Amino acid sequence: MKTFRFRPAVEAMDGYVPGEQPKISNLIKINTNENPYPPAPGVYEAIRDFAAEKLRLYPQPTADMVRETIASLHRVTPDMVIAGNGSDDILNIAIRSFCGPELPLACFDPSYSLYPVLARMQEAPVVRIPLTAGFEMPSDAAEQAASANLLIVTRPNAPTGNAFPLAAVRRVIETFGGVVLVDEAYADFADDNCMGLVHEYDNLIVSRTMSKSYSLAGIRFGYAVAGRGLISGMMKIKDSYNVDMLTQYIVRAALSDQAYLNKTRSAILATRARLERELTKLGFSYVPSQTNFLFAVPPDNDGRRFFDVLRENAVIVRYFPGEVTGRHVRISIGTDAEIDKVLEIAAQLYG
């Protein structure tokens, strides 16, 4: 006999499904938007030079040395920054801060599938706002979100890859009556971003991650920038020591090398442009990307088939079943050699 009970909201949730870790040798893994290039040279040094005896002590609880680096990078003050154990931690903190049974979450569809999962943990209703046929925000987005206390705008959006026009995001921030979190996980690959707007709007949170553009998915670090009122409240919710000591040194080293960031970003954008050109020749269409991935539709509109054939050839991309998304596959921008392999398989199938 079971002698325990979970919260009903937990009972109602699906079991945890870990991400796909296929056991194929020589696999080309371009399914989770990881960066194909290694982290900055300073990261190697930070690890090599780290005095492990320091690990006996607790880390600085608010990761202040990293907050200072972030503050100077974005021209804000350190008290406008909160550090997280990955940007998933930041999203979790935000949803625990602003959402509950009477305080719904609003987000767009399709977008990052974690948002509704985190809302469910809080027993918060979710207002899903469908994107238009071209994956743009509808013009009445703020009105549709009106009952919510928190609205997440993913810009650039995943899995579609496009960035909503900045003016449209600005209008949403001004019109919506609650907090707007702009999830900028992919902003380093985009033409512009919303970071500067934190000085203008006290209801705006902008979140970033080190997992994509800084090649540090393994280390778990994300952060948010917002006005002091929002940050000080969110600080109450975060775990006391959510960012470990070694991570703080690694992140500071990575953030300090903006030249390396620019170099690897340029390489990825060049590969992305080549992938777009070559797929177009083969009859693909795609959503114009502002990210390190491409949401592409094969000539026969059968995303599932292309996904399966790539997989048979040891190339793992991401497929999202569904009426709107199922025509596409999402291809993370890997190295040139990895993308060559994708193009080779595509040419055999559709050439």
Of residues 211-250, those binding its own copies (CB under 8 A): 211, 215-220, 229-230, 232-233, 235-247, 250
Residues 263-322 that bind its own copies (CB under 8 A): none
Give the residue with the Cβ less far from its own copies, 6 or 191.
Answer: 6
Per DSSP, the residues of 75-141 read TS-GGGEEEESSHHHHHHHHHHHH-BTTB-EEEEESS-THHHHHHHHTT--EEEEE--TTSPPPTTH
Residue closer to its own copies by CB (options 163, 181) is: 181
The whole-angstrom separation of Cα 351 and Cα 253 is 45
Q: How far apart are CA 319 and CA 326, in angstroms?
A: 7
Rounded Cα distance, 210 and 218, in Å:
9
Task: Kindly tell me the sign of the dihedral angle through the C-alpha atoms of 269, 191, 85, 329.
Answer: negative
Residue from 23, 25, 57, 167 binding its own copies (CB under 8 A): 57
Q: Which of 27, 60, 278, 345 binds its own copies (CB under 8 A)?
A: 60
Residue 310 in contact with residue 344, Cβ under 8 Å?
A: no
Q: Is 25 in the site for its own copies (CB under 8 A)?
A: no
β pairing state of 204-209 and 179-183: parallel
Task: Out of 70, 103, 131, 225, name the contact with its own copies by CB under 8 A.
Answer: 103
Applying CB under 8 A, which part among 4-12, 68-76, 271-279, 292-300 lies near its own copies? 4-12
Q: Could you give the angle at the alpha carbon of 143 between the alpha carbons of 122 and 81, nearest 5°?
A: 55
Return the H-helix or E-strand segment holding 286: strand 285-286
- By CB under 8 A, what part of segment 104-123 binds its own copies? 114, 121, 123
Q: Tell me which residues in 134-153 interact with its own copies (CB under 8 A).
A: 149
Q: How many CB atoms lie within 10 A of CB 255?
A: 20
Q: Does 334 bind its own copies (CB under 8 A)?
A: no
**Closest separation between CB of residue 146 and its own copies, Å?**
14
Interface region with its own copies, contact rule CB under 8 A, candidates 90-98, 128-136, 190-198, 299-307? 90-98
Nearer to its own copies, 201 or 350 (CB): 201
Query: With contacts defined by CB under 8 A, how many residues of the chain interact with its own copies?
Result: 86
